Amino acid sequence: MKTPLHVPVLMLALLLGACSRPEAPQEPVRAVKLMTVSRAAVQSQSGYAGEIRARTESRLGFRVGGKLVQRPVEVGQRVVPGQLLAQLDAQDLALVAQAAQAQIVAAQTQRDLAAADLKRFSDLKAQGFVSGAEIERRQAALDAAEAALRQARAQGAVQGNQAGYARLLADGPGVVLSVEAEVGQVVAAGSPVVRLARDGARDAVIAVPEDRVARLKVGQAAQVRPWTSGQVSPEPLAAQVREIAASADPLTRTFQVKLGLTADASVALGSTVSVVFADDATAAPAVSAPVRLPTSALIQANGGGRDTAVWVFDPASSRVNMRPVVVSGAEGNEMLVVSGLKEGEEIVAAGVHVLSPGQQVTRFAAAQKP
């Protein structure tokens, strides 16, 4: 029996049609830069690097608004009490003060006229020409005129003060840290123009990791050694913990601690210092060394919450998963991770904000020149 010719042709057509079906698009694989977790050897110590700041820093501004026409001080300049720091265009303020003085003169005239009327009608009443009711009206008019005079004088004093507020004066000795307005700029009342560091007590300001801040307490003794010529000074300065921040810095997860120095400590503002606590209360415990990670490897977990996490690479599946970690502090551009990672694991070192849990990735390989 012969097979019809059209049957093989039909089967061949079906076979070719099946082979030509388009394949489903594959998930794009993102290339990421990976790094291997390793624990660098670090020494436990209770010393902290910090800087010297003024105990009191004031952001000085005008009590009235206007155009800045003069600012005779510059950054780093020393000032004395009463020295002119800046001045506004006081022409309009002077005109308002003059108008207030004119109101005082007018109110004084009305008061004198009311007093003269009362005296004249009092004489007429004594002669029996006017009634007592008329005297009462004249007395009320005098009382109103005296009240208007007091109001005008008070308003004149206010306007006079406003004119004086066009000059910004130093109310204490200190050093200009920054200027925040330039000549020709229109400033609003209360906006800062000059930042002034007052003379007097100084603070050493340091950043303490969150795992050690609980060991500190206000009043705790410490030694502060300034850096001179690239080396720590052999002569320490006595200091005490004066203030401990209530919350950690959102990026470094460290707490700001201020240590008060003696009032006669002659240390330049902004100087780098080394702070060591006398009772070694903040010495790091005997634990394994932290993992040093670049800041680009960290991400805020839970949709931007306070928890810090990293992306861990699984070489078996070539996928990444988010894992929370604990950060104890920062050194330079690196963050110190004390828990959450194991030696030898691989994590994503950059581009962490474009990844998602379970996403497939591949190792980034830089192109090599032939």
Model confidence band, residue 46 (pLDDT cutoffs 50, 70, 90): low
d(CA 272, CA 266): 13
Q: What is the pLDDT of residues 117-145, one digit of tens each?
A: 889 888 888 888 888 888 888 899 999 99
- Report the SS3 class of residue 196: strand
CATH 3.40.720.10 assigned to domain 61-89+166-197? The reply is: no
Residue 336 pLDDT more than 50? yes
Class in CATH terms, 91-164: mainly alpha
Q: How far is CA 308 from the centre of its chain?
A: 22
- Report the SS3 class of residue 49: strand
The second-level CATH assignment, the architecture, of 47-54+200-277 is: Beta Barrel (2.40)
HEC states along 294-330? EHHHCEEHHHHCCCEEEEEEECCCCEEEEEEEEEEEE
Looking at residue 369, its pLDDT comes to 41
Q: What is the pLDDT of residues 244-287, one digit of tens each?
A: 999 988 888 899 999 998 755 678 888 888 898 866 544 444 44
Structure-token match 């952001």, residue found:
59
Among the residue ranges 103-112, 152-161, 166-175, 357-366, the one predicted with the least confidence is 357-366
d(CA 152, CA 40): 76
* Higher pLDDT pick, 370 / 100: 100
Among the residue ranges 45-59, 100-114, 136-150, 156-170, the one predicted with the least confidence is 45-59
Residue 329 pLDDT more than 80? no
Domain ranges of the chain: 30-42+288-363, 47-54+200-277, 61-89+166-197, 91-164
d(CA 76, CA 83): 15
Q: What is the pLDDT of residues 180-224, one digit of tens each?
A: 999 999 999 999 999 999 988 889 999 998 888 888 999 999 988
Model confidence band, residue 370 (pLDDT cutoffs 50, 70, 90): very low
Name the CATH topology of 30-42+288-363.
2.40.420
Looking at residue 78, its pLDDT comes to 94
Looking at residue 17, its pLDDT comes to 52
Range 102-108 average pLDDT: 92
Residue 3 pLDDT more than 70? no
* Higher pLDDT pick, 52 / 289: 52
- List of E strands, 150-236: 167-169, 174-179, 186-187, 192-198, 202-209, 221-228, 231-232
Looking at residue 268, its pLDDT comes to 82
Looking at residue 44, its pLDDT comes to 45
Looking at residue 60, its pLDDT comes to 94
| 49 half-sphere exposure, CB direction, 13 A CA radius | 10
Looking at residue 244, its pLDDT comes to 94
Q: At what angle do helices 132-164 and 91-126 cross, to 10 degrees?
A: 160
